[in-house]
Amino acid sequence: MIKEIVGIQWGDEGKGRASHYESKTAALVIRATGGNNAGHTVVANGKKYAMHLLPSAIIRDEVKSIIGPGVVIDPDVLISEIKTMREAGVEINPEKLFISGKAHIIMPQHKKLDALYEEMKKNKIGTTGRGIGPCYSDKCDRTGIRMNDLISGELTPEKIGEMLKKANILFEKYDYETFDENEVYKTCMKWKEQLGEYICDVQHIIMETYKANKDIVIEGAQALYLDLDHGDYPFVTSSNPNASGAASGAGIGPTLIDEVIGIIKAYCSRVGEGPFPTEQKNEIGDKIRDLGHEYGTTTGRPRRCGWLDLVMIKDAAFINGLTSLCVNHVDTIGKLEEIKVCVSYKYKGKEIDYIPMNRQECEPVYKTFKGSWDTTGAKTYEDLPENAKEYISFIEEYTGVKVKYIGVGADESQTIIK
């Protein structure tokens, strides 16, 4: 069985939590897209873990973790993440963690370029500043350096110099310090020493696991509305975190995937710039932020908060081919007395129930629900208060997608199967 976990709002829906949950029966979990712009939280065994590059299943000893070909890797971040995990008692060794040789490396100049590009823009994207966009650009430009280059013996200062050329011209023009190919080469050799034993041909491992009929989980990062093609361009990330993109980033064909689970929050949040029709720039937004502890796992930025937008979820269900939904933070939203849900938009004098090209011009039309529910102690769907059940049923009815499970707290034990 192959299951895929994808975000279908603007990220931070609880994909890490869902991926860890689904990995209970899995032999293999693959992180498929993005880089350390992601921050995936798992609360389990009485501990809180924050993953940026490692799949969330890394905390399970019996599961193999793969960083797939679609991921971009900042080796320094990965080295420090491995160290932090080990300090938290998580076992990491080359029989458990495998890094795709095809994954591209976020080089030192990429992070600087990320900052410079933002500085040069009038309308800033509000990137995480982790070098994601410039790394994917070099990948598309076919000048990127891949993890396999670290161990192939073919990497030379000249090859790095070729990659650095464009960036250094720009840095000179803007009075930024330039990069020296020999220094960057030395950095690469240090990375080889620390990560070399994990780099391999992961495709082979994935295919063998599939042939042996063992369960595989694909852990998506980011979300549909941050997708390079389907998100609010240009306020997007530089990869395709939709279900097809994540399948490709993992190296698994779409027809082999049995379940595509779309993760949502019972409200919306967004970090960075871009359209957000249901945003509440008022005391309601502030209250959701406080109740849901909505501060970025990666950058610590306060997240913009607002009502659940079901038009987004309905369109996302089709683009991703969702087979089910997971709704998180049902505990959080229930603390409000009155809850609104966007069911259509007013757009150019008409009422529409799809996402048009100019989303920033959409005015949401809401349906109101009664809140004030308390999920404390709820273990089964039947235990949930009626108002909460009504809310969940409406999500299913509107989107046409069944809810598989519900989050009523951050801890893995606070997961309710529907």
Q: Which residues would be at the binding site for ligand GDP (CB under 6 A)?
A: 7, 11-17, 38-41, 43, 297, 328-329, 331-332, 407-410
Q: Which is nearer to ligand IMO, 11 or 101 (CB)?
A: 11
By C-beta, is 143 or 297 nearer to ligand GDP? 297
Q: Which of 127, 148, 168, 415 binds ligand IMO (CB under 6 A)?
A: 127
**Residue 133: contacted member of Mg ion, ligand GDP, ligand IMO, none (CB under 5 to 8 Å, by partner type):** ligand IMO
Taking CB within 5 to 8 Å according to partner kind, which of ligand GDP, ligand IMO, Mg ion, none is near residue 209? none
CA 84 to chain centre: 20
H/E element holding 163?
A: helix 157-173
Binds ligand IMO by CB under 6 A, chosen from 3, 5, 6, 12: 12
Interatomic CA distance for residues 33 and 246, integer angstroms:
6
Nearer to ligand GDP by Cβ, of 123 and 413: the residue is 413
Told to check if 221 binds ligand IMO by CB under 6 A, we report yes
Q: Is 245 in the site for ligand IMO (CB under 6 A)?
A: no
Residue 262 to residue 71: CA distance in whole angstroms: 20
The residue whose two tokens read 């330039």 is 178
Angle between helix axes 181-195 and 75-87 (nearest 10 degrees) is 30
Among 69, 245, 272, 277, binds ligand IMO (CB under 6 A): 272
Say if strands 350-352 and 338-347 run parallel, antiparallel, or are unpaired. Answer: antiparallel
Looking at residue 301, the DSSP 8-state letter turns out to be P
Task: Find the distance separating the first CA and the last CA of the chain, reported in whole Å.
Answer: 20
The pair of three-digit structure tokens given for residue 25, joined into one six-digit string? 């029966």
Task: Write b or e for each residue in 64-85: b if 16 or more Cβ atoms lie within 10 A of its Cβ, otherwise e.
Answer: bbbbbbbbbbbbbbbeebbeeb
**Among 40, 52, 230, 329, which one carries the catalytic annotation?**
40
Q: How many other CB atoms sit within 10 Å of the CB of residue 259?
A: 15
Site string for Mg ion, 264-303 (x = CB under 5 A): ---------------------------------x------
Binding-site string for Mg ion from residue 25 to residue 44, where x marks contact by CB under 5 A and - marks none: --------------x-----
Closest to ligand GDP by CB, 7 or 364? 7
| 40 classed as catalytic | yes
Establish if 407 lies at the interface with Mg ion (CB under 5 A).
Answer: no
- What is the closest distance, in whole angstroms, from the C-beta atom of residue 269 to ligand IMO in the complex? 8
> How far, in Å, CA of 262 to CA of 5, rounded?
6
Nearer to ligand IMO, 226 or 355 (CB): 226
Cβ partners under 8 Å of residue 205, min gap 6: 28, 64, 66, 98
| 38 binds ligand IMO, rule: CB under 6 A | yes
The span from the CA of 373 to the CA of 383, in Å, is 12
- Within its chain, how far is the Cα of 244 from the centroid? 14
Query: Is the dihedral angle over the CA atoms 33, 302, 57, 225 positive or is it negative?
Result: negative
Give CA 390 to chain center in angstroms. 29
The one-letter amino acid at 108 = P
By CB under 5 A, name the one of 2, 9, 10, 12 that touches Mg ion: 12
Question: Residue 332 binds what, of ligand IMO, ligand GDP, Mg ion, none (CB under 5 to 8 Å, by partner type)?
Answer: ligand GDP
Contact residues: Mg ion, CB under 5 A: 12, 39, 297
Contact residues: ligand IMO, CB under 6 A: 7, 10-12, 37-40, 125-128, 130, 132-133, 221-223, 226, 237-238, 271-272
Query: What positions carry a catalytic annotation?
Result: 12, 40
